[in-house]
Structure 1
């Protein structure tokens, strides 16, 4: 058996398997299709819009320590990484 025959057989098996699954799912849902979906989830939240003003959204520097923090030392950076306050992408040895 060559690799081409093997891949063609494998492709045929996968295609027939997934086609059978799709047909079985279609036939299973076709009989119970009466307009009442038992598996449909709906989420309703009562949210009222709040008007915000542009003056409230601009920080003046003293209210937000995140925007104007000025940086941290290496020891504080490791502490922030331990507390998962910062996102790091490589392994850090503590």
Structure 2
């Protein structure tokens, strides 16, 4: 089971986490911070989780750069059955990504 954790419904702001409301974070956010949920349960966010949460908010707010002409061309090729997949090119791209991530 998965749950979306976005801080909505919390009775107080997340401690040590930069939020749009607070605009700043307390030093030492790489340690886990307790957060009380309304039901009395608790949640601890690591500094990494807090960073991922902040990145998700930034990405959600960023405008999407979509090349609609390319989307339409691929959609038409898929519908016509003429879209060609090059497995070697896909494999090369994945290997390149793996090399980049290993650095």
Q: TM-score range by the shorter chain?
A: under 0.3
Structure with more contact order per residue of length (Cα contacts < 8 Å, sep ≥ 6) = 2
- Say which structure is richer in strand: 2
Normalised to the residue count of structure 1, the TM-score between the two structures is: 0.22
Q: Which has the larger radius of gyration?
A: 1
Normalised to the residue count of structure 2, the TM-score between the two structures is: 0.21
